[in-house]
Amino acid sequence: MRFQSVFPMLLEQPSHGVLFLFPYCVCRHDRTEADSIFRKDLKVFSVSQNRIDCELAELLALKDLRENEQLSGYTNATSSRAKLIDSLKLLVKENRILQDKLIFPCVNNSALSSLIKLICPSFEKETKEELIYLIHQFLNEEEFKETLHKLEQETRVFFDINYFREYITSGEWDNAEKYLSAFTNMNDNTYSAKMFSQIQRQKYLEAVDRQQKLPSDFAERAHLFDDFKVLVERNPMLQDKLKFPSMDKSRLLSLIKQIMDWWVPYCINVMPNANNETISLKDFPTVSNLRYASSILTDKPNQEGRPLDASSGDDSNDSSCFNDNNQSRESTSLPDADSAVCAKSLEKSVNLKLQLINEPSECRTLLLPDNSFGGRVVRLIYSHSGDFLVALTQTATHKLWKWQSNKQSLEEENVNMEPQLYQPSSKLVMTNDIAADPKDSISCFALRGSHLFSASGGKISIFSLETFQTLATFANPPPIATYFILLPQDLFAFGFDDSSILVHCPCTKKTKAKLKGHQNRITCLAYSLSLNVLVSSGADAQLCVWDAVGWKKLCSKFLHSFQTGLVPETTVVNHIQFHPDQIHLLSIHEGQIDVYEAPTLNHTSQLVPDKMDLPITYATYSCDGKCIYVSCKSGHVKVFDTSTLELRCQINLTAYAQPGTISLELYPLVIAAHPLEPNRIALGLTNGRVHVIEPLESEVEWGKLPFTDSREFSTTFGSTALE
């Protein structure tokens, strides 16, 4: 008898649960427990199946179960589980009870749209579309993926760019073309023509590769999708279909009531009884062949492929942290088609060709006055009104610059107005307590009115910005405070190097909560007022979302590279920041920038700069949230469009640094975005100096020049849309 036959026979016994304990005890060399199970629970075989009893006894003498010939194939848990899954799949397929439940029933292309037509045949277009959105939202929440995307194609109310991306990156070119055809066709405009021609080109090239048995290049498809994404977002046929509206679920109830108000008088023969308690539904209308009925909302392509017409914030909380211990890819541009449609579709006739700024004359720059050199600028922050700027250096000292504070001067303020390096009459210098070990020198600070909370690896200090006096110190290490942020109701959230987060009220000196979810030190905290959630990042490559009411962890997600699917080798998430919409969250890592949607941390996009620019030193949203400023060790400051992650402008080191100071060791470590002027930023450099820059007065904004007669536009940038 082969040893594998032992297991089915064991399963027939009343005490078959011991089957799983017996080999487990043998594997972990727990001979005493294994011998006890063999003698007591498996003694039944000593009488009825002596051969099995002998085989089990042989296992007790083995150092490793795999020394048995029949068990030698069980190499590890992963492969064994894989074999088990294959066996279970086979059993499920052969099970008659399950055979008719393995395939989800086919939904006819027009079924959902016909249902919509049935329940609201005479409603205005807006009501009908709202119902479609609600159904779409329901399907999305229930993850009915195939049905969901069929509805998108039938109704053309929403183009799911992430779903389209799945087809592109997996090389399903026929499906990509079919999905795109539901919304536009090759003859609509230049953008559509490029997309269809590129799909057909790639389909041909990959067919040739398969004949020559060449491997598919996933990275190349990912790069290609970057260009598709630009074309989709600029395509007039798709622009109004890329954002799904925020729907209130209670609206569905009011829609149902509205539908019934229409339905009852016209479609139901109301037959009250003597007591007026019931109605008869004998004349309730029915729709014959609903499954095959055509829909007025379905846009079916004609022979030419053309669709037929249907008949019907919080300002980032002035708080941040910077750690001193702070994949390349070339985009493949799609071929350009010479058409007037291109120029017409450019928003407000703006030339979107990449702008490179190399000279000081190509932008407005201001080197802030400074008579001291206190080491690298590791933190930089504007006040809420933008009338002063505070810097924290690597040597734990602070600098404060003030602009004139009267209303008229603030309205006329630009970088040509030089601020004053403020020094109180007391001649005091705001200096933090320094960490005992220099490697623990992690700098962070936060503004609260005229008070500055600051730390450089030691105790947290509270300074008066008027007198520079140290008002108090607290939180004596260990653990070391690595980040803190102000919350509503006079609360503070403190992150520490022991991976914990403390929610504390300084007024009452009471701790509200101690949060644990990270495996390494906390690097940053961000709070969303509209969602009332706190998000934390750590040196463990993890983001966590915390409910600010009960302080429970809602979800967490690990940083990963979209190209490789792996967690980056350097696991430190240096900074996070909420967009002014209080929903989108910016995450900065030295090798990539990611955007998530809170509170679920849905990963919406990822940006990977060129290899020559890595590592990324900092990034921040503009005050209006329309662009992202990114600083790199190369000295470049890149300006990306928030909605598309398209590179709009690159400001090189030679445009803002003093000529005699330029070197490989000079670059910006931190960026502060002006709270009122979206095109103005301050840069803190490795030489301790601070520069303020903004576009020339003649320019609309960074990267958007007055329109020229050229119809060219660039699609070269490094972004990736995600699920």
**Same-domain status, 146 and 60:** no
On whether residue 137 sits in a domain, the answer given is: yes
Residues 78 and 123 grouped into a single domain: no
Whether residues 50 and 128 fall in one domain: no
* Residue 277 in domain: no
| Region of residue 567 (left: phi > 0; alpha: psi -120 to 50; beta: else) | beta
Answer whether residue 18 is part of any domain. Answer: yes
- Do residues 90 and 122 both lie within one domain? no
CA 69 – CA 556 distance, rounded (Å): 45
Does residue 72 lie in a domain region?
yes
Question: What is the per-residue pLDDT for 323?
Answer: 39
For residue 294 the two structure tokens come to: 């055509």
Domain, as residue range, for 120: 110-234
pLDDT digits (tens, 9 = 90+) for 76-111: 667 777 777 888 888 888 887 777 677 755 544 455
Residue 187 has what pLDDT?
85
φ/ψ (deg, to 5) at 499:
80, 5
- The strands making up 719-721's β-sheet, listed across from edge to edge, are 573-578, 584-589, 592-597, 602-607, 719-721
Q: In DSSP terms, which residues pair with 694 in a beta bridge? A: 364
Residue after which a domain boundary falls, among 65, 94, 123: 94
Sheet strands (E) in 259-387: 319-322, 355-357, 364-367, 377-382
CA distance 664 to 655: 15
Are 699 and 647 within 8 A, CB to CB?
Answer: no
The tokens describing 319, both together, are: 């708080």
Helices 125-142, 145-155: inter-axial angle, 10-degree rounding: 160
Residue 141 and residue 29 in one domain:
no
Given a contact cutoff of 8 angstroms between Cβ atoms, the answer to whether 176 and 185 are in contact is: no
Burial of 203 (0-12, 13-18, 19+ CB in 10 A): middle
- Given a contact cutoff of 8 angstroms between Cβ atoms, the answer to whether 643 and 354 are in contact is no
Q: What are the tokens at 416? A: 């040509």
The residue to which tokens 């027009």 are assigned: 110
Q: Is residue 49 part of a domain?
A: yes
180-236: per-residue pLDDT in tens? Answer: 998 998 888 888 988 998 898 888 888 877 777 666 666 778 788 888 998 998 898
Q: What phi-psi label fits residue 688: left (phi over 0), alpha (psi between -120 and 50 degrees) or beta? A: left
217 falls within a domain? yes
Q: Are residues 120 and 56 in the same domain?
A: no
Which helix (H) or strand (E) element contains residue 151? Answer: helix 145-155
DSSP 457-496: BS-EEEEETTT--EEEEE-PSSSPEEEEEEETTTEEEEEE
Task: Find the angle CA(163)-CA(213)-CA(562) to the nearest 5 degrees.
Answer: 35
Angle formed by the axes of helices 173-181 and 161-169, nearest 10°? 150
292 DSSP 8-state letter: G
The closest alpha carbon to 130, from 292, 290, 250, 295, belongs to: 250
Domain boundary among 180, 208, 234: 234
Calculate the CA dihedral of residues 652, 658, 659, 665 and round it to 10 degrees.
-70
Main-chain dihedrals φ then ψ at residue 169, nearest 5 degrees: -70, -20
Query: What whole-number distance in Å separates Cα of residue 701 and Cα of residue 684?
Result: 22
* CA proximity to 194, closest of 155, 154, 157, 237: 237
Q: Residue 443 half-sphere exposure, CB side, CA atoms within 13 Å?
A: 24
* Phi, psi for 476 (deg, rounded to 5): -70, 125
Here the tokens at position 409 are: 């001067």
* Residue 496: inside a domain: no
Compute the chain's Rg from CA coordinates: 32
Which of 81, 85, 123, 389 is CA-nearest to residue 258? 123
Q: Show the tokens assigned to 647.
A: 């590179």
> Which amino acid appears at position 4 of this protein?
Q
Q: Token match 């541009």: residue?
A: 333
> What are the per-10-residue average pLDDT scores of the chain (723 residues)?
46 48 70 76 62 72 71 68 82 79 58 60 61 71 74 80 88 90 88 88 81 69 86 88 68 61 49 44 33 27 34 40 37 30 31 75 93 86 93 94 66 68 93 81 90 94 95 91 93 95 90 95 95 95 95 93 83 95 95 94 90 93 95 95 91 90 90 95 95 90 61 34 34
The pLDDT value recorded for residue 649 is: 93
Strands 616-621 and 627-632: antiparallel
Same domain membership, residue 170 and residue 144? yes
Residue 233 near residue 225 (C-beta atoms within 8 A): no
Q: Does residue 615 have a cis bond before it (omega within 30 degrees)?
A: yes
Q: Are residues 57 and 13 in the same domain?
A: yes
What's the pLDDT at 436?
76
Q: Are 366 and 413 in contact (CB under 8 A)?
A: no
Do residues 206 and 199 lie in contact, with contact meaning Cβ atoms separated by under 8 Å?
no
DSSP collapsed to 3 states, 496-509:
ECCCEEEEEECCCC
Predicted local confidence at residue 457, as pLDDT = 92
Question: 152 and 215, same structural domain?
Answer: yes
Do residues 64 and 175 both lie within one domain?
no
214 shares its domain with 122: yes
Instruction: Give the pLDDT confidence score for residue 31 in this predicted structure.
Output: 74
Compute the distance between CA of residue 542 and CA of residue 550 in angstroms, rounded to an integer: 21
Indicate the number of domains in the chain.
2
Nearest CA-CA partner of 434 in 426, 425, 442, 423: 442
Phi, psi (degrees; rounded to nearest 5) at 232: -60, -45
**CA 191, CA 193: separation in Å to the nearest integer?**
5
* Cα–Cα distances in angstroms (integers) from residue 483 to residues 448, 497, 498, 537, 699, in the given order: 15, 9, 12, 10, 38
CA dihedral 419, 425, 428, 430 (to 10 degrees): -40
The DSSP line for 658-700 is -GGG-STT--EEEEEE-SS-TT-EEEEETTS-EEEEE--TTSS
Task: Identify whether residues 90 and 177 lie together within a single domain.
Answer: no
CA distance 291 to 136: 19
In a domain, 627, yes or no: no
Residue 627 in tokens: 């662009």
Residue 451's nearest CA partner among 479, 489, 492 is: 492
Coil/strand/helix, residue 161: helix
Among residues 203, 218, 234, the one where a domain terminates is 234
Output the six-digit token pair for 400: 């404060």
**Nearest Cα residue to 575 out of 626, 615, 609, 533:** 615
